[in-house]
Amino acid sequence: MSLDLNKAIKKIEEITYLHRKEFEDREARIRLSVKHMGESTGEEIAGKLRSVSNRPFLWAGATEGLGQVYEPGPLPKAFSVASTDGSHIDVDRHMPIPCALINIGGCVIRYNLQTKSEFFNEPEVYHGEGLYLKGDTNTVDEVYIEGSTLGMLRTVGEIEYLSNILTEYQDNSPILGLMDGSLILWQVSGPGVPQLVKRRVIDQTFIPAMDKLKNLSKTRALGIASYISMPRSTDVVNTLRLYLCQSADEKCSGLCSIRKSLSSPCNLVNNIVDRDIFAALLKEGQRSAIFSSTSVIMEDYGNHRICFFYVNNGWEIGRVEVPQWIACNPDLLSLTHTLVLDQCRKGIGYPVAVSEAHEQAVLTGSDRRAFQDMILAQINNGVSSNNTSQKDRSKRLPWL
């Protein structure tokens, strides 16, 4: 045997000792963090946030004590939950016809209602001139739809599709529109994203869809949310970091990074994420206070800035994002909290409707192959010329 276990075991003992010590230290810091959160008041937090402007990390806006918790409301007797999700096939440059596909899937699950639950999906194929985003007036200005642009159109397409489903929903019972992932389209604010893409995604799709949902919420019991499982965000931890910080902006920039702080007392929350502190704070079913995103993209969201809360669903701490008009309406906020929680309970830790929407949207390997095969079959029927690349041929027919 080439491994000297006697030598290795000493190192392993050292590593596990450090890991245990670090774990105990972290647990103690989480407990202390929760204590500080419980002592904070809305006025203190709001005052502190007003006094800072430039820090090397992103924090959550808050107007109430960080340690505030809320119980869910009573579950409505009859209600529905609608959800959408998307999947796409990117442009394959080895295919004879450049084309892309976005498949949006969704469901409306009805609880204690006479009407049946519904499942649906809607594929949209982009090809030819349709593969270019174009400016309204300047015809020279255009962006090819592929890669991350296609991904952004898909994400915002899910929101648009959900708004259409909810608009057509006829029953008078409460309904929750629930999506997977984040409502904060941070990719759109990333470097190198053309204005044209930003305009299509935010101004021409996201904002109109949210306007429609906001108007609907004025006439019926409607919750809108997105659910993030096992969130890795640190927005609230960073707000606590600010609350504890006694330094001015300039000094902080020299002592803190996005991930951690070198000075006390801010280093209390080093290597802790939001879900760690809410796992210690929230009992099963409870939600946290409402926080608001301070992501730069929020400047383009108009009346639909995104707020969020954390919820202990009994299996995990989930992050629930809602538009501010839901966060500011106690009835719709409570409905959203209650129905998201119920969905997680019914789905054994993850919202049922979101899972089912995913099943409707997902494109399997065989779906992708079938899509390509259909294109090639049409070409072989004489619809178009066959100029598949030899690289593609070699992948399809790896002959010996």
Strand partners, 53: none
Residue 109 C-beta: closest distance to another protein, Å:
5
Of 27 and 118, the one with the shorter C-beta distance to another protein is: 118
Question: Which of 64, 119, 164, 199 touches another protein by CB under 8 A?
Answer: 119
Residue 110 C-beta: closest distance to another protein, Å:
6
Question: Which of 66, 69, 100, 107 touches another protein by CB under 8 A?
Answer: 107
Question: Which of 352, 354, 361, 376 touches another protein by CB under 8 A?
Answer: 352
For the chain, the straight-line distance linking the first and the last C-alpha, in angstroms and rounded, comes to 40
Residue 216 C-beta: closest distance to another protein, Å:
23
Strand ranges for the chain from DSSP E: 61-62, 69-70, 79-89, 99-111, 118-127, 132-134, 142-144, 175-180, 222-228, 287-288, 291-292, 306-312, 317-323
Site string for another protein, 310-349 (x = CB under 8 A): ------------------------------------x-x-
Rounded to an integer, what is the distance from CA 235 to the centroid of its chain? 14
Hey, which residues between 39 and 78 contact another protein (CB under 8 A)? none
Of 46 and 75, the one with the shorter C-beta distance to another protein is: 75
Instruction: Specify the pairing of strand 61-62 against strand 175-180.
Output: unpaired
Residue 92's nearest CA partner among 381, 363, 368, 362 is: 368
Residue 112 binds another protein, judged by CB under 8 A: yes
Q: Angle 81-123-362 (CA atoms, 0-180°, nearest 5)? A: 60
Of 71 and 118, the one with the shorter C-beta distance to another protein is: 118
Of 173 and 271, the one with the shorter C-beta distance to another protein is: 173
Question: Which of 26, 48, 64, 111 touches another protein by CB under 8 A?
Answer: 111
Q: Which two tokens stand for residue 321?
A: 């994002």
Count other Cβ atoms within 10 Å, centred on residue 174: 23
Could you give the 3-state DSSP secondary structure of residue 180? strand
Question: Which residues are near another protein by CB under 8 A?
Answer: 107, 109-112, 116-119, 346, 348, 352, 356, 359
